[in-house]
A = this chain, B = another copy of it.
């Protein structure tokens, strides 16, 4: 779609200001080598003419794009939309625009997204969302990012500490521990986990945290059913059904994220199981609606918006020799969905 609009070009500004195109270019970018008087004049003329630089020409000539790419697993998921919100907010404040790609949790799509973003010459590529347990699924992506960085590009990820990029690390293991400690402290011993796909490292980490806490309290891993399903509301429903069916004496269900917890709550409501009287339910993430569910959801806050801001700010910093790691706080948020373990169950 060739556009032939009467857009003002740099050369128009230069002519009108009575300077060369080079001087105009330098003036507008605040580069030195131009007297302040001339620069100010050029800026004035540009503004009068409503000049907007052509990104493509700029990029092609070696300039920067002012675009950052963000790859997320599922843009509709609150976990990711809150991250995206953080990224977009900070980006807007810095005069950058964000190009969002949705991988649908498919490593192949993800790879092609990365390639596209690289070809688009984005300033930085950000990836949010769990990595894959199977390293072969992302080795290509890894290679691509490395090459991108070697050639001066910036990349940063949320999680995926195994990549050689800057990374913000959500407290997955600690969150798992915190939520498990919480239900343990309430006296629960028959605990089940509603987990997302076993292929994701986030799932692995959160489960590891839960297991560690339980083991400290003398509960063997074998005594903790972990039901894998999808990281969605429906996945949570399905997991809850299976848990209640296969392990009817369960008194606490730990969902590995809030979205699944919503599904768990929905199933329990349907089955007439009272929460937290009969069964306690907890999530991880603390998405915005967690406080407004029925009952309100006990969870671990992971500050997604902050994760988003952090990952962008890391990417924007001048590169360092070795990949930086940055944690992000987590807090147990106790609400109405967890309560003391029932004295006995049917």
Contact surface of A with B, Cβ cutoff 8 Å? 1-7, 50, 52-57, 59-60, 62-65, 67, 75-76, 78, 81-82, 84-85, 88-89, 92, 97-102, 104, 109, 113, 115-121, 123, 147-148, 150-154, 233, 262, 265-266, 288-289, 291-296, 305
Copies of this chain, complex-wide, total 2
Q: Which residues of B contact A233 (CB under 8 A)?
A: 288, 292
Contact call B84/A100, Cβ cutoff below 8 A: yes
Contact call A2/B97, Cβ cutoff below 8 A: no
**How near does chain B come to A100, taking the closest CB pair, in angstroms?**
5
**How near does chain B come to A278, taking the closest CB pair, in angstroms?**
17
Choose one: B1, B57, B75, B292; the contact of A88 (CB below 8 Å): B75
Q: How far is the CA of A296 from the CA of B262 in the complex (A)?
A: 12
Q: Which residues of B contact A150 (CB under 8 A)?
A: 5
Provide a sorted-by-A list of 10 A–B residue pairs whose CB atoms are within 8 angstroms: A2-B62, A2-B64, A5-B153, A52-B118, A52-B119, A75-B85, A78-B78, A92-B101, A233-B292, A266-B292
Q: Which residues of B contact A102 (CB under 8 A)?
A: 85, 88-89, 92
Choose one: B56, B81, B92, B123; the contact of A1 (CB below 8 Å): B123
In the complex with contacts A2-B62, A3-B121, A99-B67 CB distance below 8 A: yes
Q: Which residues of B contact A121 (CB under 8 A)?
A: 3, 54-56
